[in-house]
Structure 1
């Protein structure tokens, strides 16, 4: 792996605040050992500018504690060489040492085009009584599958159940050209954060068509914008008529099968699509991480009981967003 490639790999890990131990430290150590002093410094400075000093990090920084740990490890790598001290590394660390921790942070995910999806997230797994304020790996997995299968979404109306902070939907809106995308959730705090993230990425929401988009649009990005909506949708009380009014061609959900009670509510929603008299049933895809085999089997059994057929979608080949590739992550297509 060449130096510039290594810098870009660190960048993708760092801006998305992926686990530090998953970064290519061994490859860096190998390159530093083999390189002359001048090249050692050049490689470390390149990584510094691709990460902590990158414009996306300056504008939308990952957690302060994460940046501190990253720079500490980078300095440790430098100090293991015989190269002259690099003031730039210490200058970058100094202001972060006294930076107060926040309950929120940013994560930026780089698309193959070089464009980014940037999200404001909670630093805690559970915040405001919900797990919906962070991005889970099944959402990354589903987004990658969508990017490999854009025709599923192109020029179609997509309804996402349990959108959380919006990662999957924003990727689809930037890469798959849907006609309409309906983000939905039921938690007020999640809906507020979701709306902020949509605007942060240069999109406007209906009926805000006259409002200037904010966020990354300012950096020159222009979109063939789909129509975007955010809907408060409670699975326990939503009616068949409300779902039909959304005219969804495609329904997706990620990481919503983790609790039997939630699973039953989800199947209740899916049954409303199944029992509807619409001429054409929507295509339905659910991405999940199988953390508990019993919960997964309950989901499958309840689908069977509800008369909803299902099949496992073959695994896709890409790992664009550097999530933990696990054999227990899958996408199901549901046939209502």
Structure 2
């Protein structure tokens, strides 16, 4: 999950200058492309191809002994074609991995919900630093997408019940598969649910039945039309009960984000920016992240 330019290539070069055996390259290969996690949940073909090609380049430049396993791994990737889906594995602080099937393209089948966006990573990190907000509570997540945030919370924060939700049929199927893939379907009956929830048609009966103590959403403020339905949904949620509500956003378009806040004001929903440091767990660039807490 790290960009290739962030890898310690200089360290590798210096080590290979001192020792031209293939032992270090072999160790790296075993802990990356040949690791059991990557064999079970293979990362993107293009990503593996670039990584292995760079390893071969560094090895050959240092005059190291050839390593057949390295060339075999590259041959396997070259022959894999160019699939539209891949796995991404996100390591939690305790060493566990959340492995998700995601689309390679950022937008596919008319939705952005088949990939993990940065705000979902940030909200997961925010939750890991504030576990008391989720422990022993019923949590409703709006626009769960591929499921990273919710799976991380279920693994680390011990909610009594967690409800993933989305409105796109293809996203819901991928979400159910990722929930099952990460072992959440093995939890006690009713502890985890995946529900279809269209923000424009969701009823107060559905919201009341879920009975959320905490409501969260990540990267749902990206389009003015979508935002209108979101604010309507949030208004219904806050009318039905008094949960803690947190919305995490990457502010790509300040005008759209300001419009979201104006709609909240018009709906009588008070909002304030949460403060405090958030420990970084995942390798990504944090740019203009903000988490709002909402009140009536």
Question: What corresponds to 1:197 in structure 2?
Answer: 178
- Alignment partner, residue 74 of structure 1: 55
Q: Equivalents in 1 of 2:83, 2:16: separation in Å?
A: 39
Instruction: Return the offset for 1:39.
Output: 7.1
Q: Which structure 2 residue ranges, 5 or more long, are not aligned? A: none
- Candidates 24, 42, 48, aligned match of 1:43: 24
Partner of 1:256: 220
Instruction: Determine if contact 1:29/1:77 at 8 Å carries over to the other structure.
Output: no
Per-residue deviation, residues 179-201 of structure 1 (Å, max 9, x unmatched): 00000011111111100001101
User: In the alignment, is the contact (CA less than 8 A) between 2:146 and 2:178 conserved in 1?
Assistant: yes
Contact 1:177 1:224 in 2 (8 A): no
Partner of 2:154: 173
Q: How many angstroms does 1:225 deviate by? A: 8.5
Give the aligned partner of residue 101 of structure 2.
120
Q: CA deviation at 1:80?
A: 2.4
Shift of the 317–186 alpha-carbon distance from structure 1 to 2, 3 Å rule, reads: closer
Cα deviation for residue 69 of structure 1 reads 1.1
Post-superposition CA distance 1:156-213 (Å, at most 9, x none):
0000000011110000000000000000011111111100001101121xxxxxxxx4
Aligned partner of 2:202 in structure 1 is 238
Distance in 2 separating the partners of 1:45 and 1:88: 8
Tell me which residue corresponds to 2:282.
Answer: 321
Distance 1:225 1:137, change over 3 A: farther
- Give the match's secondary structure for 1:85: coil
Report the Cα distance in structure 2 between the residues aligned to 1:59 and 1:115, rounded to whole angstroms.
15
TM-score where L is the length of structure 2: 0.94
SS at 2:293 equivalent: strand
Other structure's SS at 1:109 match: strand
CA–CA separation in structure 1 for the residues paired with 2:203 and 2:277: 34
> Is 1:179–1:226's contact at 8 Å kept on the other side of the alignment?
no
Distance 1:91 1:37, change over 3 A: farther
Output the CA distance in 1 between the equivalents of 2:247 and 2:78: 42
Give the Cα–Cα distance (whole angstroms) in 1 for the partners of residues 53 and 18 of structure 2.
20
1:331 equivalent in structure 2? 291
Return the alpha-carbon distance in structure 1 between the equivalents of residues 291 and 188 of structure 2: 28
Native 8 Å contact 2:20 2:65 kept in 1: no
| Candidates 230, 234, 248, aligned match of 1:270 | 234
Residue in 2 that maps onto 1:8: none
Which residue among 228, 248, 253 is the counterpart of 1:287? 248
TM-score norm. by structure 1 comes to 0.83
- SS of residue matched to 1:321: coil
Task: Return closer, same or farther for 1:141/1:269 CA change in 2, 3 Å cut-off.
Answer: same
Structure 1 Cα separation of the partners of residues 160 and 21 of structure 2: 49
Displacement of 1:85: 2.4
Select between 119-128 and 246-255 the one with higher mean Cα deviation: 119-128
Matching residue of 1:129: 110
1:224 to partner: Cα distance:
8.0
> 2:259 maps to which residue?
298
SS where residue 38 of structure 2 aligns? helix
Q: 1:126, CA displacement in angstroms? A: 1.2
Does the aligned pair in 1 maintain the 2:249–2:290 contact within 8 Å? yes
**Structure 1 unaligned regions, length at least 5:** 1-12, 205-212, 214-222
Match of 1:58? 39
Q: Provide the aligned length of Structure 1 versus Structure 2.
A: 296
Q: Secondary structure at the match of 1:332?
A: strand
SS at match of 2:88: strand
Partner of 1:207: none
Are the aligned partners of 1:166 and 1:197 in contact in 2 as well (CA < 8 Å)?
yes
